[in-house]
Amino acid sequence: MSKTIAIFRYHKYVEVCANHLDLFRKINPDIEIHGIYGGERKEYEEIKSQLHLDSDFFLENLSDETKWKSFDIVLKEWYRQIGKGLSFDRIFLLEWDLLIFKSIAEIFPNLSDRQLAFSGLVSLCKIEKKWYWTSNESKKLEWESLKSFIKDGYNFSGPYFACVCPGMNISRKFLESIEFIDLPEYCNDELRFTIYADLAGFELRNSRFFKKWFSKKEFKYFNCNGFDVHAKIILKELNKSKGRRVFHPYRKTYNIQNELFNGHIRFNYFPFSLILNTLGKWMRIHFS
């Protein structure tokens, strides 16, 4: 049976981080969580001490822009310094502002080590003229330079794909395969991850957390454009038998105990492990 670990990517907002980690642990009690911190050095020790991660990696000598838009570079450095020494088969990317209400095992039941799951996976030709990273004047020049580099160095000229990174699920074999493939830092990781996959011969799968590009309706549930998901939207989906269970970004704390025990959420739509953990915490508070 393969072993999945979570990478928790964060930079500040310790109260929100602790809250979201608590929820993730309730639903995925057997998954180790390893941190990658991209914030200020002066705040690092205090924040880290409150999150109780299985390991943590402080990003040094990288610009804020690289930390933000180039997680492929960050992840490869983490693997060289930390990941190689860990026991795991797969990695799930848990961004600090990602809320997930379903176990990783249920969401990704049958991925092989040659399969990678990204959300919003789309053929680039469908969004290229509208997407900032390939349509903005300066970014378009970067994209042309990246294509030239790949064609000259790897004899690859597409087809190309784009994705969004929160909630991605990749294999250790993928990290091993791309360790010595170095792409220039043109455009962003939402392009380069899929290119790495093609160059190394991995299959791309769509997790469908993000279902439609450039859709204001879709942004209510999941986006990487800074539009906050509202608690009432989350609650509405959790009360549907086939509603959504993954939301991004949610940059506040979420009190699942109140929602469950005030009758705002139907128990039969929830992971049993979450109910047991929540019930146990409620009993300790009220009867200890």
Give me the residue label for tokens 């797969």. 90
Q: What is the pTM (predicted TM-score) of this model?
A: 0.91
Cβ atoms 18, 252 nearer than 8 A: no
- Alpha carbon distances (Å) from 59 to 10, 40, 254: 11, 9, 28
Low-confidence ranges of the chain (pLDDT < 70): 257-288
Q: How far apart are CA 68 and CA 127, in angstroms?
A: 22
- Alpha carbon distances (Å) from 90 to 6, 59, 114: 8, 22, 11
pLDDT of the residue at 287: 44
What is the domain class of 4-123+161-254 according to CATH? alpha beta
Cβ atoms 6, 94 nearer than 8 A: yes
The residue type found at 16 is V
Q: In the chain, where are the structural domains located?
A: 4-123+161-254
Classify residue 131 as exposed, middle or buried by CB count within 10 Å of its CB (0-12, 13-18, 19+): buried
Cβ atoms 168, 119 nearer than 8 A: yes
pLDDT of the residue at 282: 43
pLDDT of the residue at 286: 43
pLDDT of the residue at 281: 53
Q: How far apart are CA 288 and CA 274, in angstroms?
A: 21
How many helices (H) and strands (E) the chain has is answered by: 13, 9
- The predicted-structure confidence for 79-95, as pLDDT tens digits, reads as follows 999 999 999 999 999 99
